[in-house]
Structure 1
Amino acid sequence: MAGHFEPVPGGGAAVALDEVEISILRSLAVQLLELIGPGDEPVEGEDPLAALFAEGPSEPPADPALARLFPEAYAGPDADAKDEELRAASAEFRRFTERDLRSRKRADALTVVRTLDSLTSLTSSGEGGAVLKLTADDCLHWLGALNDLRLTIGTRLDVSDEDESDELYRLPDSDPRKPMVMAYLWLGALQESLVETLMP
């Protein structure tokens, strides 16, 4: 499953995907949306300007994958007591930025779902796949979502640096992590292909 993005006129990109690839990508994007959580619905009668300045959480998420998607700004998770000042600065930064970051990540994943859903009529006609065409704006959302998916899966696989990905290629088929590893490597190839396509 090694899709390869190609440039299209107007600054977008296109990739041929089969039905299985479309299904996997959509499922992963939906799971990412579930992990990130629902958006904040505006309260009836609430001042929209006040909603813009609403504060978010100040503590890092407990889930390691969410902690990777929403990392500490100044102090890492292993910071000791002498780094209390950095912890306080990180908490303050998170309080004013995490809501927007969650909204952006949610928008990225939703774009993946919606663009893949636009292919449904083509794949349901029995053609077995379709060519996904993305606008330049869609490409940026896809890059964000592909990155978030890789970070999430990488965290679940306990991948900490690029050297470990070599070990991932050598996993035996009997390893229960193999399907997740294949998805991780495939998403990396897709992401790299899209980055290369968008480079001038």
Structure 2
Amino acid sequence: MGGFSYHRRSKQIIANFSGFEADLLRSLASQLVELLRNEVAAPAESDDPLEAMLDFSGPTTEPEDPVLKRLFPSAYGDDTEAAGEFRRFTEGGLRDGKARAASTIIDALEEAGLPPELDEDGMVIDVELSIADAEAWMRSFTDVRLALATRLGVEDGDEDFWDSLPEDDPAGQVYGIYQWVGILQETIVEALWAAS
């Protein structure tokens, strides 16, 4: 997979994926959407009619899942009350935005012809994205990489550890996916740069 490129004539960001790669991307995006939608803390009750009208009913406590903690860090580390209020006003919208960006990946792959059940490995999926959709993919790649890095425990400067794992080590294989999504992210940023 060569990554993304910008085609001036069509003004589209394009990429070609094998059936396996496209299915893997769809799976990663689907898992992210599921994670974002499933663990939402119960909102605090409020009698304020303005809050009810504007729907400031987001969670006030940190998520339990380490990935969600990484995706939605506390805005005020030393002030729990201020952090809770900030989270209540912002986390719902942030979750929705991240889920919409990941859904853009799913929708584009399905529109490009990825079947619900992948039969053959030799198929090629051609994806053509508008600038806005490519920006959504780029944001979602960031979220996917943060999720994978958190689950794996990836830290700065530990590349030698990951490179030393045997090929059949499941953690090493997931780290390979993490690196691959990083390459996709890098090439989509370059394509967006070329489009500007």
Range class of TM-score, shorter chain: 0.7 to 0.9
Q: Is residue 108 of structure 1 aligned with residue 110 of structure 2? A: no
* Paired residue secondary structure (2:17): strand
Task: Output the CA distance in 2 between the equivalents of 1:184 and 1:62.
Answer: 23
Match of 2:169 in 1: 175
Asked if the contact 1:39–1:103 (Cα under 8 Å) also holds between the matched residues in 2, the reply is no
1:132 is paired with a residue whose SS is strand
1:59-78 equivalence runs, <5 A: 59-75=61-77
TM-score, normalised with respect to structure 1: 0.81
Q: Point out the more displaced range, 100-109 or 6-15.
A: 6-15
- Matched residue, 2:178: 184
Deviation of residue 12 (structure 1)?
Answer: 3.4
User: Are residues 151 and 93 of structure 1, via their aligned partners in 2, closer, same or farther at CA, if it must alter by over 3 Å?
Assistant: same
| Unmatched runs of 5 consecutive residues or more in structure 2 | 41-48
Q: 1:12 to 1:167 in 2, by over 3 A?
A: farther
Q: 1:125 to 1:186 in 2, by over 3 A?
A: closer
The percentage of counterpart residues that share the same residue type is: 36
- 1:30 lines up with 2:25 in the alignment: no
CA contact (8 A) 1:6 1:15 kept: yes
Instruction: Note closer, same or farther for the CA distance 1:16–1:74 as it changes in structure 2 (3 Å cut).
Output: same
Structure 1 residue 142, shift from structure 2 partner:
0.2
What is the SS of the residue equivalent to 1:120? Answer: coil
Pairing partner for 1:140 from 126, 135, 138 = 135
Residue equivalent to 1:159: 154
Aligned counterparts of 2:114 and 2:168: Cα–Cα separation in 1: 36
Match of residue 6 from structure 1: 5
- Between the two structures, name the one with larger relative contact order (CA 8 Å, sep ≥ 6): 1
* Matched residue, 1:196: 190
Match of 2:125 in 1: 130
Aligned to 1:16: 16
RMSD, aligned CA: 2.6
